[in-house]
Amino acid sequence: MNFNMAVFKIAKPNGTVDDSEKDLVMTSDRACIIEMFSGIAEITTDDDGNGTTEITHNLGYVPMFFCFDKGYLDTTYWYPMYSIYAKATTTKLILEALYLDANTTYQCFYSIAGNRNDNAVGSGNSNVTGKIKIAKSGYDAEYETDIRNMNFVSGYNVWKVDTTLSGSFTVDTDGDGAGTFEITHGLGYVPMVFILNTDEGKMLPYTVPLFGGVFMLYWLDSNKIYGEISGADPSTTLNFKYKVLRDKIQ
């Protein structure tokens, strides 16, 4: 059965709902990232510096997720999946510390979405909740029970991009191919942040340590975003885009 529904749109500041989709805050035609589970997990390493923590989600499929870890390089800052390995199964998110400091406890923030990575639909779960519900095309929001078939529900958090704090920046490397950057977000708490090197089309962090290649990393506190680059082309300009979310790590 097909359902013909009106489209609900929210424009960016100074924009209109007639703007291109990429310039909208939200459109009901597209699925939001619906956060089902989030929190801070602790991983305590053994004598060899290894440890594992598991978070059960029981969604019955491998969901989207992202993690930030704290404590390996500097306990003041949060890093995007730098020292902790993360993987998901159909029932759990598994966080692993490998060859870190022995007998040490590390923190990891995790956000597990109800969305699948391929945005596929499905059935079998009863996890749709909230007074405002927007179903995907072909589904009835009044009766649908599986979150995979929804574009939005008000019963769970959705990732919220702050368009005024997000943007682009450049870094000029020195003669050794190194550089740093610092961006003030000023939120008073540690937000989720994603950074893309648009020259390479790569999400940070990334590194090629075995070959002495490019290294790019960023880290966060309650006031700023910091970054470090090494191994890039000497005396060149690198281009980046970044998104600051209003969603809180700590």
Q: How far from 97 is each of 84, 92, 109, 249, CA to CA, in Å? A: 5, 16, 14, 19
Write out pLDDT tens, residues 60-91: 999 999 999 997 767 889 999 888 999 999 99
Ordered DSSP codes for 50-69: -EEEEEE---SS-EEEEEEE
Residue 26 lies in a domain: no
Looking at the predicted structure, is the pLDDT value of residue 100 above 70? yes
The mean predicted confidence, pLDDT, of the chain is 91
Residue 6 lies in a domain: no
Which residue range forms the structural domain that includes residue 99? 34-116
| pLDDT at site 1 | 42
Q: Can you say whether residue 58 is alpha, beta or left, with left for phi > 0 and alpha for psi between -120 and 50 degrees?
A: left
Give the three-state DSSP class for 155: coil
- Residues 239, 186: one domain? yes
- Entry pTM: 0.89
- Residues 112, 52: one domain? yes
* Share of residues in the chain with pLDDT > 70 (%): 94
Residue 1 lies in a domain: no
Q: Using CA atoms, how far apart are residues 236 and 222, in angstroms rounded to an integer? A: 30
Show which of 100, 116, 132 is a domain's final residue.
Answer: 116
What is the count of structural domains for the chain?
2
Write out pLDDT tens, residues 216-250: 999 999 999 999 999 999 999 999 999 999 999 98
| pLDDT at site 2 | 46
